[in-house]
Amino acid sequence: MTQDHNRAPIRMLIVDDEPIICEGLRKTIDWSKHEIVVVGEAYDGEEALRMTKEHDAQIVLTDIRMDGMDGLELAKHLRKELPHVRVIMISGHEDFEYARQALRLGVNDYLLKPVQIDELIETVHKAAEEIRSESPRSSKRDEKVLWLSRVIHGLPGGSRQPPASMQGLSCFRMMASQLEQFMEHYAHWPEDEYRKLQERWKTMLRERLAYAGMRCVSVFIHKNLLYTLIMSEKSLPARQIEEIIRNFHSEWDGPSKPCFGVSRAFSSLSETGEAAIDASDLLQYHVIERKRLLIAEHEEGIQETSLIPDIDFKTHVLQTVSALFRQDADEVLQIVHQLFDLFKQERLVLRDAIKLYEEFIVLLRQRLRQSGLKEAALDRTISLDLNLCNSYSSIQKTAEEEMRELMRLIDLQGIDKSYWIIEKAKMYMDEQYYNDIKASEVARWLKITPSYFSNLFKQSTGKSFREYMNELRIEHAKQLLVETNDKVFEIAAKVGYKEYKYFVSVFKSYTGMTPKEYRALNVNRRADA
């Protein structure tokens, strides 16, 4: 990392309820070498929020668990009050639910304890470079672009009066545009070629709008996200915008076309920031609506707030880990495919699909760690940019590449694969205990020979397949005897025994009493309690 002495350092606040940790994070690393200045230390969320405002901090490095206002509450306040601030969260390995909440609150990066110094430096450096790339440089931009950029980012100065050249107009719209399938078509373009395409993108929009009697100001706030403020002295009807974009698309000759989100018309430039949010939100829906142009007044209802569905990833994770340890690439990729099919069925916009994928990855890493995969293999920080990975195919490709890498690491470390074969077998048996399943059926499902499965199961559990199934069924029967009024022969059938007498015999051999005696005893105990 080379240092540019001509640019101002990025301001960072360190937050932890243990002062010694704050001091360690500040002193262990020479932040000045990385063009970072630590503006202070805070020991709870309330103090951190106050100091972030007081010192105009650009990065907040915070622990997740703290007394009083914790890291999650702090992130929520920062997102609402200071959306331009980058939040880097630090947490313990087992805080999956915390990780899920943090990711949904827009936390930029999530580091697991114990934090590696190199990983921390890299994460902070990445956030700093993103801030610099987004910061407007007045020497290179005119005042209209500078004002618009500040408004979009919520930076100081964005609330001041717009330049005189923008005043006196009465009708405005905000437009957000983005190239479709960026990773598939543009990710490997040379930088100079891509800059030319960006200039052509802006120029074509300006010319099409000017031809229709409109003025505009455009600014790239990301490599693949262009904001355009449309200005006019008269009304800006949706049909006219549609015609302009239709002409734009007909002349565009790139490998994929830009898609557009357009806000409602507004009459005061003070509404520009809110309109920019509306336009970019609309842009997120092009994947599920299969439209290249979404105009606010034509898309009633699609932006209604909806909760991200609660998906129990436990089964997906167990299946994935089992397939990873068996080096079954086909099954791993099939699971990933099923996962993304589920996201599509739920009609998730990409940002929500990415959040759910990140939740899955956090849980998967925890399970792999428990299974003996070394820490070094799990150091990758969650990093998916939905402006670049802006298609389901690109996100899925990223997921598939990650799975292949995990398979390679597991193979290199030579971890015992039998553990997860048995875990998956138990999962299948737990789901199918009420059926007349045999060891050969489970072996076939696992794609291994019956003899190998039987020997491996006995070695791993100390029980034969039949013994394990009987114990499993009897445990379910005991629960039904206590919690339901079902007759004993009905319970026998429900837990997988076709013959009533055999069920009674097996039950007595495991419990020392008949099903009726067990029910009577336990019902009396519940009554006494």
Structure tokens at 414: 């030579």
Segment 218-221 long-range contacts (CB within 8 Å, at least 24 positions apart)? 218/145, 219/136, 219/141, 219/145, 219/148, 219/149, 219/152, 221/134, 221/149, 221/152, 221/153
pLDDT of residue 243: 93
> How many CA atoms, within 13 angstroms, populate the side-chain half-sphere of residue 380?
18
Contact by Cβ (8 Å): 295, 387: no
Q: Determine how many CB atoms are found less than 10 A away from the CB of residue 15.
A: 29
- Judged against a pLDDT cut of 50, whether residue 351 lies above it is answered with yes
Return d(Cα 363, Cα 328) in angstroms, integer: 20
- Judged against a pLDDT cut of 60, whether residue 333 lies above it is answered with yes
Most confidently modeled range among 71-80, 383-392, 453-462, 506-515: 506-515
Most confidently modeled range among 107-111, 137-141, 277-281: 277-281
Omega before residue 258 within 30° of 0, cis: no
Q: Residue 141 in 3-state DSSP?
A: coil
pLDDT of residue 77: 85
Torsion of CA 187, 192, 195, 197, to 10 degrees: -70
Residue 64 bridge partners (DSSP)? none
Kindly report which listed range (35-44, 79-88, 435-444, 507-516) carries the lowest average pLDDT score: 79-88
Structure tokens at 119: 């990983």
- Using one digit for the tens of pLDDT, what is the confidence trace for 226-236? 999 999 888 88
Q: What is the mean pLDDT of residues 343-356?
A: 86
Structure tokens at 259: 């898609």
- Using one digit for the tens of pLDDT, what is the confidence trace for 183-237? 999 989 998 899 899 999 999 999 899 888 888 999 998 889 999 999 988 888 9
DSSP 297: G
Return d(Cα 399, Cα 523) in angstroms, integer: 51
Q: Which residue has the tokens 């609330």?
A: 159
Q: How confident is the model at residue 68 (pLDDT cuts 50, 70, 90)?
A: confident
Structure tokens at 62: 């915070």
Crossing angle for the helix pair 500-511 and 465-483, to the nearest 10 degrees: 90
In single-letter form, the type of residue at position 471 comes to E
Structure tokens at 335: 């699971």
- Sheet containing strand 109-112, edge to edge, reads 36-42, 10-15, 59-63, 86-91, 109-112
Q: What is the mean pLDDT of residues 47-66?
A: 88
Q: How confident is the model at residue 307 (pLDDT cuts 50, 70, 90)?
A: low
pLDDT of residue 249: 93
- Judged against a pLDDT cut of 70, whether residue 96 lies above it is answered with no
- Judged against a pLDDT cut of 80, whether residue 509 lies above it is answered with yes
Q: Determine how many CB atoms are found less than 10 A away from the CB of residue 62.
A: 26
Sequence-distant (6+) residues with CB within 8 A of 276 are 151, 152, 174, 176, 227, 263
Return d(Cα 320, Cα 114) in angstroms, integer: 26
Q: How confident is the model at residue 141 (pLDDT cuts 50, 70, 90)?
A: very low
Sequence-distant (6+) residues with CB within 8 A of 521 are 513
Segment 303-308 long-range contacts (CB within 8 Å, at least 24 positions apart)? 303/278, 308/104, 308/348, 308/352, 308/355, 308/356
Q: Where are the alpha helices (DSSP H) in 284-380?
A: 286-289, 314-325, 329-345, 350-370
**Three-class SS of 208-250:** HHHHCCCEEEEEEEECCEEEEEEEECCCCCHHHHHHHHHHHHH
Residue 90 bridge partners (DSSP)? 63, 111
pLDDT of residue 379: 54
Contact by Cβ (8 Å): 360, 339: yes
Residue 342 bridge partners (DSSP)? none
When the pLDDT of each residue in the chain is averaged and rounded to a whole number, the result is 83
How many angstroms from the chain centroid is the CA of residue 463?
A: 41
Q: Could you tell me the pTM of the whole model?
A: 0.57
Q: How confident is the model at residue 374 (pLDDT cuts 50, 70, 90)?
A: low
Contact by Cβ (8 Å): 230, 213: no
Q: Determine how many CB atoms are found less than 10 A away from the CB of residue 371.
A: 17
Return d(Cα 479, Cα 473) in angstroms, integer: 10
Q: What is the mean pLDDT of residues 255-282?
A: 92
Q: What is the mean pLDDT of residues 405-416?
A: 77
Residue 61 bridge partners (DSSP)? 14, 88
Contact by Cβ (8 Å): 348, 395: no
Structure tokens at 443: 């072996």
Q: What is the mean pLDDT of residues 282-288?
A: 88
> What are the two backbone dihedrals, phi and then psi, of residue 178, each rounded to the nearest 5 degrees?
-155, 140
Percent of the chain topping pLDDT 90: 27
DSSP 42: E
> Which residue from 115, 116, 44 is spatially nearest to 74, judged by alpha carbons?
44
pLDDT of residue 139: 38
CA angle 499, 505, 511 (to 5 degrees): 130
pLDDT of residue 159: 52
Contact by Cβ (8 Å): 351, 308: no
How many residues make up the chain in this entry?
529
DSSP 500: H
Q: Considering only residues 1 and 253, tell me which one the structure prediction assigns the higher pLDDT.
A: 253
Kindly report which listed range (120-124, 300-304, 309-313, 430-434) carries the lowest average pLDDT score: 300-304
Contact by Cβ (8 Å): 225, 146: no
